[in-house]
Every structure is written in structure tokens, then in C-alpha cells.
Structure 1
Amino acid sequence: MFGLSGKYESLVEKVDRSQRLSRDEASVLAGAPLALLGLLASRVKERKSGREVYYNRNFHIEPTNICVFNCRFCSYRRPAGASDAWDYSEEEILAQVEAHRDSGATEIHIVGGVHPQHDIYYYADLIRKVKRILPQASVKAFTAIELAYMIDKAGLTPHDGLALLKEAGMEAIPGGGAEIFDEAIRARICPEKGSSETWLAMHREAHRIGISTNATILYGHVENWEHRIDHLDRLRTLQDETGGFNAFIPLKYRSRHNSMSEVGEVSVVEDMRMTALARVYLDNFPHIKAYWPMFGKTTAQIALAFGADDMDGTIDDSTKIYSMAGAEDQSPAMTAADMERLIRDAGYLPVERDTFYNPVKK
């Protein structure tokens, strides 16, 4: 139906037979007609989750935007003492949790800047207090970069540090901090940040001790498709080894209020191409997320036709990371009814889930 050339026909056959694509084949497929990419990604998505699209009731806690690193793409980070920096006290953080006691939230997502003073013992104690207020909600907390810093500051090994946080009540780890794994690109956009191997090693250790995690990529800046596919390949390899990733989240670079603004932003067409290729290439990842606070609601709906099967959560206007970078939703919040309507309007069946993709009984 697409008048395919031979170079695409063989790839279509491999995808339809659930055969793994090589990096070279992924590079070829990245240039395929967008409609073909969408069709292939939709077929893969339906093999994995049918017509179901997931969401959850969640909220974020962002303890601080003070950070020891200064990533060039970041619109969120502020140095200590800046007029628009924040550093919430423990009492202020627990008040945010208390405000959601009756919200029905099943997940608390905690990420922020890499604070120069707080170590893992501070955060473990914080998690224990959070869980006392909302024991029924899973705590998904800290990027691998945050974890590496706080664990090292306390003089612990990654195993012992993660075990301490797990004992305190941390049940999952988000995927942030991965950015792009290519070391040369990383040196340009986040030279002070931990290495790609640091990120991968932290997630590997988390999987070994029974903590499930997500994974991300930051795309649409100075990288190219070769770098993107290399990133996907490293994730697929680790997933083959551990099986510990729940979902992959493609994160679009947003250009407002950071030192890379002249780069601009890629198109929605490129967003769909990235989402679709990720769904086809990451054959061992159960889920691909269309993170609506980053994409915007309409683009996230479109991404459901390009392989995504998760819309993230209700958020409740509790994250500033993408709004500070110019995302269209400056106060991101939706009700469960809003989420279900968006999913149904896109032609799919909404399923409320917990952090681990178990359906929530209503």
C-alpha cells in the first residue's frame, strides 16, 4: 500500500514476524515514510497491550531546583541564592504529601536538582515519613544521577545505597538523567553530569535488587539518528540482561530559558518518528510513554497512533520541569476523567494502572 522499496519491505517483514532489528536496520527505518513507521509501531503496540492505553493518578514532589550540575539544556536548575531558586524544608514537602491524602493517588514521583548538601540518609528518612502519610502510594524517586551523588556522598556502594532506599519505601526509579548516552554529545550538553555508564550501572543494580525502573532519552538538540539508535541499543541490551525496565519515555528538548535555545525544537513529525522507532526497536520494553506535560495533550494523543501505550498521570500541577522550559501546559493537571476522555477520543481503551502496570480496581 505504500509502494515500498526493497529496503523497507524486508524490514516490514521482520517487524511483522516479531524479529529483532539491527542498529543498521533501525537507521534505515528511521527514514521510512512516517505513515509506514506509524503502522509498524501500532502493530507492535497492539501485540503488547492491545487497544489498551494506561494512565495513573500521581503527583510530583520536586524538593529543590538547586543543583550542583549545570546542564546546558536545563531550564529548571538554579544556583543557590538565586531569586527563583527553591529548597523546600522537610515540613513543606510533607505538607505537599498531606494535601494529596484523599486524592486517590497511587504514585508519588520525587525528583529534583542534585542538592549539594543532602545525602542518602536524609532522603531515606524523608521517604519513610512520606510513606507514613500515604502508605498505599508507591514512591518512585530520584534519577540515577541524583542517586549516584547522594550515595557517593554517604560513602556507600550503589548496592547498599539502593538497598537502604528500598528498605525505606522507595519502590521504583524514574528514567531521568539518561539524556543521550553518546559520550561526545554528553560532553557538549552536560559535561559535569555523571557518565552514561554511571546511569546504566545504577539501573542495572536497581534491577538486581528488585527495584523496577523506567528509561528516557532527551532528543531533538544536537544529536542525530545515529546517537539516538545507539542510545536505544544500550537500553535494549541492558533490558536483555535484567528485564527490569517498565517503560521507555522519549523526552523532547524544549528550548526556552536555557543556554542551548538557539538550537530550536524539532517538529511534531519528528516526535512521532522518535516514538514509533522506539516502539519498534525496543522489542523487550513492555511500554512506551507519551508524557503529556512534555508533548502537550494533543500531541500525546497523536503519539498513541505511533506506538505509545501510556499517557503518564494526572500530575495535579505538581511539576515545573517542562513548564519552565516552555511546554504548552504551564500548569499541568488532569483529572482521571480527563485522562480517560483523551484516550477514548483517540480510539483506545483507558486503563488506570499503578506504578507497575497492574490495573487499579475501581
Structure 2
Amino acid sequence: MTETRVISDILQRAADGGRITPEEALLLYTEAPLHPLGEAADAVRRRRYPDNVVTYLIDRNINYTNVCVTACKFCAFYRAPKHAEGWTHDTEEILRRCAEAVELGATQVMLQGGHHPQYGVEYYENLFGAVKKAFPQLVIHSIGPSEILHMAKVSAVSIEDAIKRIKAAGLDSIAGAGAEMLPERPRKAIAPLKESGARWLEVMEVAHTLGVESTATMMMGTGETAAERIEHLRMIRDVQDRTKGFRSFIPWTYQPENNHLKGRTQATGLEYLRLVAVARLFFETVPHLQASWLTTGKDIGQLSLHMGVDDLGSIMLEENVISSAGARHRSNLHELIGLIRTADRIPAQRDTLYNRLAVHWTPQDDPKDERVVSHFSSIALPGGGAGRSLPLIDAK
């Protein structure tokens, strides 16, 4: 058969719910015409979610420290121990930020920070316990395998014990943080001090078996090849086949400012859209696919809704890590809902588990709170903006 026929047959099989191989995924990613690729991915979305609903979330990313010993080359957020610009927020400050998030309708907080040399399991037990006690309604979707490995090392306990303890303290769900690129060559190039991709996945698998689900992510644009991007997907799918613990896949693009990579390479919008579509076709066992409008921009975010995406992500009331590397895209609740509706989809607010909290079937159903604006970045302020309230910006 000709390559065109081969591609067409793969697209049809994937659109019908069949499994494709990594080799077939690479062929689609590099050679498939864009429109048929997107149509096949959207067919998968329509079969999974025939009511045409696209979801969004309201949450706040709260950073407890920027002190980190891992020194990833793409990261503009961290500061080395004893650096003059290093800071750590106390529990009172974190709870204050949680209270602001609750006031604005957030259902989730993502507590993230650097690998502080003194922060073991006990620190996270106290942090999660305090948040859960003060705000039991908030879901703690936080940290990632890298932080779990670090805290276990500091406290000299096993990965299993660390996960059990922080789960008991209040951790509800693990973020896909720290995945970046899982294949060995690109991972060593951008994060030589971080655990291997196989080890990252091992921690996720342990967490899944202990009843803690997670998301999976990928950072594009740091010099990895097309084949390495597909290998990243393959590594995630292998774990998902065994655990079914990944709720969603969230690809995002490297941001080039204020870090050691200095923007030497970046992923284009077209590369991103193609990867999103291939991911929807490849991950037949991962329920949800989320776009990253924060890193790609709202135009690409909206286009991704035609490439198999069923979730537009979050109105993040605060975000510092990616913003410090140059992500400048902001939105508000009305605008995000508008992006979904003008893509001929029905917007719905969800929670962490993708339960729909409110479906906006018509514009009359839309929420009216104009204070819900994304997002406040405090990284440039002394002490990480400690004590500063969320700036409430008129959505108009």
C-alpha cells in the first residue's frame, strides 16, 4: 500500500477506538495531513463525550518555597540554597492564599515547590494536614514524583511509606509535575540531577497501586526529537495499561526566558497541535486530554479543542513557575468560557476528578463573578509576594 493509504488506515482504526503502535503514532505525527489527523482525534473525543461538553477548573497554584537543589536547566523559578532571592512561605501565608482561592470559587489547590534540602515527609504531612483541617472542601492536587523521591530521601523512608503518610495527611491527587521529557537522552540534557524518566514513572505506579491517582504531562520544545516525543507517550501508556491511574494527559511548551537553556529551541504551535491530536489517538486508556493555553496562547488553546481536547484547563488564580520563564498569557472566567462556546462546545466547570459541577448549557447559565481572573504571578516580588492579596481585576 502507499504511505497515504497506510496513514488513512491507521487514522480510521484509531478513530474507531483501536490501538495504534508507537511506530504508527510517529508516522501520524510526522506525516499525516493536519486536517484528517485532527478529524480522527476529534472523532475519539465525540465518541467519549457525545454531549459536546468541554470542561474547565478553578484552582490556585501555591508555592511553598523556591529553594531547590536540583537545578533544572529549563527552570526560572528555583534558587539554590542560601541564595539571596530564596524564600519559604510559612503555613499561615499558605492558608491565607487558600482562603482567597476558596472565596473566588476554587475547588483545588496545587501546592508545589523546590526540592528544599531540609524538607522531608514530616514537612509535607504538616503542610497538607494544616490545609485539609482549615479547608476540607479543597482538593489537594499537588507535588509530583520528584518531590516524593526527595522527601523520602531526606526522611530516609521508602517511597511507599512516604506516599502512605502524605495521603493520610490530606494529599488527594498527584500532579504530573517533573515529567518534562521522560526518555533518557533529552532528560539528561535538561535536568541532569533529576531522577530518570523510568524512576518518575515507577513512583507514579506505586502511587496508583496505593489508591492515589494522578495526571501525566509533557514539556515540548527543549531539543527533543519527534521520536523522543512519541517515546514519552509510549512510556506513559505502558504504566497506564497496568494501573489505569492517569486521569488526563497535559502537554505544554517550554518557555524560554530567565533559564539556562535560553530559548535555544522551542515547539511551534503546529507541532503542539499535531502532538495533541496524536496523543488523543494513542491514549485510548487515558480518559481526558487537557490543553495548555497558558504556554501556547489562547488561540492555540482554542484550536486544540478541534484536535481531540476535552478540557481547557484552569483559571489559575496564581501561577509562578511557568510565568517566571516567560508565560504571559492570561484570561478570565468569561473569556475562557467564551473560547469554549465559540469553538461550538458546551462549557462546564469541573472538579479534580472531572465531575461536572455546573454545565453552562446556554449563555444564560454562565457564572457572573468577574473577580475570577487568571492569574497573579508573585515571583518578581520580594519573598515571593508574601502577604500580598490577589489583585482582583475587572474582567472587562
**What TM-score, normalized to structure 2?**
0.86
- The 5 Å alignment of 1:230-309 reads 230-309=231-310
Unaligned runs of 5+ in 1: none
Superposition RMSD in Å: 1.7
SS in 2 for 1:250: strand
Aligned residues with identical type, % of pairs: 32
Deviations 1:173-222 (A, max 9, x none): 11011111111221111110011122111110111111110001111121
Distance 1:227 1:236 in 2: 14
User: How many Å apart are 1:4 and its aligned residue?
Assistant: 8.1
SS in 2 for 1:159: helix
In the alignment, residue 123 of structure 2 is paired with which amino acid?
Answer: Y
Distance 1:311 1:85 in 2: 33
Count of residue correspondences: 356
Match of 2:353 among 352, 356, 361: 356
Distance 1:303 1:121 in 2: 41
Q: Is the 8 A contact 1:174 1:214 kept in 2?
A: yes
User: How many Å apart are 1:7 and its aligned residue?
Assistant: 2.4
**What TM-score, normalized to structure 1?**
0.94
**1:344 maps to which residue?**
341
Within the alignment, does 1:24 sit opposite 2:23 as a pair? yes
Distance 1:173 1:146 in 2: 10
Q: Is the 8 A contact 2:220 2:266 kept in 1?
A: no
Distance 1:298 1:10 in 2: 30
Distance 2:41 2:12 in 1: 13
SS in 2 for 1:57: strand
**1:320 maps to which residue?**
320
Q: Is the 8 A contact 1:315 1:334 kept in 2?
A: no
Distance 2:95 2:81 in 1: 22
Deviates more, 1:121-130 or 1:253-262: 253-262
Distance 2:100 2:221 in 1: 36
**1:171 maps to which residue?**
172
Within the alignment, does 1:159 sit opposite 2:188 as a pair? no
Deviates more, 1:280-289 or 1:291-300: 291-300
Deviations 1:305-332 (A, max 9, x none): 111111122211x111121111132xx4
Unaligned runs of 5+ in 2: 360-396
Q: Is the 8 A contact 2:66 2:86 kept in 1?
A: yes
Distance 1:352 1:101 in 2: 15
**2:42 maps to which residue?**
42
User: How many Å apart are 1:228 and its aligned residue?
Assistant: 0.9
SS in 1 for 2:182: coil
Q: Is the 8 A contact 2:295 2:327 kept in 1?
A: yes
In the alignment, residue 321 of structure 1 is paired with which amino acid?
Answer: V
User: How many Å apart are 1:281 and its aligned residue?
Assistant: 0.8
Distance 1:162 1:25 in 2: 36
Q: Is the 8 A contact 1:315 1:333 kept in 2?
A: no
SS in 2 for 1:218: strand
Specify whether residues 129 and 17 from structure 1 end up closer, same or farther in structure 2 by C-alpha distance, changes over 3 A only.
Answer: same
